[in-house]
Chain A
Amino acid sequence: MSSISEFLQQTVNGLVMGSSYVLTAFGLTMILGMLDMINFAHGELLMMGAFVAVSLVIGLNLPYLVVIPIAIVIVSILGVIMERLAFRPLENSDRVNLLVSSLGVSILLQNGVQLIWGPDPRNLPSPFANTQFTFAGAVLSGHRLFVVVVSLVLIGILYYVIQRTKLGIAMRSCAFDMETAKLMGIKARTIIVMTFAIGSGLGAAAGILLAPIFSVYPTMGVAATVKAFVVVLLGGIGNVTGAIAGGFTLGLVETYAAGYWSSEYKDVVAFLIMILVLLFKPEGLFGKNVQEKV
């Protein structure tokens, strides 16, 4: 393996991780932008997506490709229920109450899943696991390629929805200024519910796509929440373009750090970048909204 193909392989590794970070971060950044709340239970939606998919594939013997949309819909509904039970009753209270409430939901989901499925890690079989593509010395398994393709498609659809459709414009107006948006006749309640449904569904998609590469277990969402949070801060709160750039940046930086320096300091590098961004460009690499809102 030459150093050029090693570099190419590391870049591919970074882009695959990056695409999953983008998917995970989308839901978090949308909710953070709209409600000014950090949803600590976001990683648990990813975990729920993986567990629902495992149950459907192994329990009901459904094909993986059929399971993906079903599990996304189930977790979207769960996201809406979560909003209704844990966040809406607190909508007029201090933001810190929402944060604590989301922490509670996170612990509840982890323990609930452990109670139902048990603590053991498990696998989710993928039909693409045994195919491989080689390109200039870099190897990519069929499933990892599938992750990238589906992620890019979902990212594309979401980007179009946010930038071009009426729903997207309403979402952006609510995120910019909820009160004014209401005065303009936007049904803010519906928009919040839609945001939760879409955000949860995307989180679930990340979980279902990554489950065949990684094992599925009840506490797998914790690290995902933290990584998504770093991506959101890198890209700018509530900024979808920023989340895309932030996700790929984080994936590549982490992979290069681990591959060319030391894997021990992989997470340190990610957090160092986050701190630098917070110090010198607190609105994020691509963010403008926060300052304008303040």
Chain B
Amino acid sequence: MKKKFVILLSVIFLVGVFLTGCGSQAGEGTGQETGQETGSNETADTITIGGIFPLTSGSAYQGQSFKRGISMAIDEVNGDGGVNGAELKIIFEDDKSIPTEGVNAAEKLITQDNVSAILANFNSSVTLAVRAVTEREKVVQLTPGSTADSITEPGHPYMFRNLMPNSFQGPQLAKFVTKKLNLKNVAIIAENTDYGRSGAEQYKETAEGLGANIMAVEYYNHGDKDFYAQLTKFKNLNPDAVFIAGLITEGAQILKQARDLGLETQWLGLGGFTNDKFAELAEGAAEGMIHVSYFEPGAYEYFPESKEFVENYNEKYGMNPDMYAANGYEAAKILAEAIRMAGSGEREKIREAMTQIKDLPGICGPTTFDENGQASKGLLFVRIEDGKRVPIGSEKDTK
């Protein structure tokens, strides 16, 4: 009996080790077929594209949303007869939010699967690492989710993005809060990453330019759990508002701990809070918070093209699409249009077609890429009411 138990546990142990090792297989088999310049594995009636997102690990919630949105777009394109009569096929890979995993996946997709273009990634650091590969291999990379400013800096002809960078959301939020809401004494608590730091700095610069007083800027590390010290300091400062430049796990804890301490203020946040899980994790402490969002289901006055998408998504997956699903859906549609314009799955022709796209209608707004591959889109401000995000304005209101 005892021996059997030990053997059983050993088997579970080994299965665990095996599963842990599986993730690294994506990188195998590369290096043999490098040097191919065109996506050529497609037969006349299939064109393959790749998608690399964090399908497991800490950002899996967002990664799965991208996958659902993109899959739906591809199904729709194929349902309408494909691209120039060819069927569109997508291969998804998991980057686990780790740059090296992303690079391995990109190498595999480009050299082994011969994809024509790639939709990737979510985490900015992974997108930047993958950009080096797509640029070297001359394959279009379109990100529907990374907001670091440097992604669409000049000199990267294969990199494209269909949402606005950090340098847009921080200042727009600052304008909205300072001019429209008239909240002048603000404290900032930010994640100690490119995303959090740039968000905090840009907010501070714009808000101070408009006459606001930034009372304190505190940083925390990704994965920190205890924020009582910073929040006690804020409570003593008594700010009109506290701006969190971070993501949902830490954000929810900050709000709960602030409620514990009796810190009452107007909470503000970046686009990283646009997630149904956030209000649930905050257990009611997020009520009244105002944050940036790039897409809201049902906000048809801001996103008039999105009605059909929201209804179909609900029918297919039994839930509302979030901004990740919407941006992913739109990115796949943009890529399909570029492939249609290119007339084939040839990589260089797709890049040329991407630069030719003008005012392509989309669910998050029309798309035209500038010379750096950056599309000009808008953003919304939402307030959390009864655990739901309610749109209260857009960047147009702050002009």
Complex Cα spacing A266 to B220, Å: 9
Do A119 and B252 touch (CB < 8 A)?
no
Do B221 and A267 touch (CB < 8 A)?
yes
User: Would you give the shortest CB distance from B250 to chain A, in whole angstroms?
Assistant: 9
Chain B, residues 208-238, CB within 8 Å of chain A (1/0): the string is: 0000000000111101111011101101101
Do B58 and A108 touch (CB < 8 A)?
no
Question: In this assembly, does B192 line the interface, its C-beta being within 8 Å of a C-beta of chain A?
Answer: yes
Question: In this assembly, does B6 line the interface, its C-beta being within 8 Å of a C-beta of chain A?
Answer: yes
Question: Which one, A1, A111, A122, A264, contacts B219 given CB within 8 A?
Answer: A264
Complex Cα spacing A84 to B218, Å: 45
Complex: chain B residue closest to A12, CB-CB? B228
Do B6 and A85 touch (CB < 8 A)?
yes
Do B230 and A215 touch (CB < 8 A)?
no
The B contact surface, by secondary structure, is helix
Q: Which of A123, A132, A258, A267 has the most CB of B within 10 A?
A: A258
Given A215-B252, A255-B229: A119 touches B60 (CB 8 Å cut-off): yes
Complex Cα spacing A126 to B256, Å: 13
Q: Which of A108, A122, A125 has the most CB of B within 10 A?
A: A108
Do A112 and B16 touch (CB < 8 A)?
yes
Do B249 and A217 touch (CB < 8 A)?
yes
Complex Cα spacing A121 to B233, Å: 27
Complex Cα spacing A81 to B9, Å: 9
Question: In this assembly, does B361 line the interface, its C-beta being within 8 Å of a C-beta of chain A?
Answer: no
Do A262 and B218 touch (CB < 8 A)?
yes
Given A108-B17, A123-B283, A132-B262: A263 touches B220 (CB 8 Å cut-off): yes
When distances are taken between beta carbons in the complex, the residues of chain B under 8 Å from A144 are 260
Do A6 and B236 touch (CB < 8 A)?
yes
Question: In this assembly, does A184 line the interface, its C-beta being within 8 Å of a C-beta of chain B?
Answer: no
User: Would you give the shortest CB distance from B171 to chain A, in whole angstroms?
Assistant: 23
Do A6 and B233 touch (CB < 8 A)?
yes
When distances are taken between beta carbons in the complex, the residues of chain A under 8 Å from B260 are 132, 139, 141, 144, 213
Question: In this assembly, does A19 line the interface, its C-beta being within 8 Å of a C-beta of chain B?
Answer: no
Complex: chain A residue closest to B256, CB-CB? A213
Given A10-B232, A121-B249, A121-B281: A219 touches B58 (CB 8 Å cut-off): yes
Complex: chain B residue closest to A260, CB-CB? B233
Complex Cα spacing A119 to B61, Å: 8
Chain A, residues 253-273, CB within 8 Å of chain B (1/0): the string is: 011111110111011000000
Question: In this assembly, does B277 line the interface, its C-beta being within 8 Å of a C-beta of chain A?
Answer: yes
When distances are taken between beta carbons in the complex, the residues of chain A under 8 Å from B233 are 6, 258-260
Do B56 and A119 touch (CB < 8 A)?
yes
Complex Cα spacing A123 to B281, Å: 6
B binding-site residues for A, Cβ under 8 Å: 6, 9-10, 13, 16-17, 19-20, 56-58, 60-61, 189, 192, 218-221, 223-226, 228-230, 232-233, 235-236, 238, 248-249, 252-253, 256-257, 260-262, 277, 280-281, 283
Show 28 A/B contacts (Cβ-Cβ < 8 Å), sorted by A. Answer: A6-B233, A6-B235, A10-B232, A13-B228, A13-B232, A16-B228, A84-B6, A85-B9, A111-B20, A114-B56, A114-B57, A115-B16, A120-B277, A121-B277, A144-B260, A213-B253, A213-B256, A213-B257, A214-B225, A215-B252, A219-B223, A220-B225, A223-B224, A259-B230, A260-B233, A262-B219, A263-B218, A263-B220
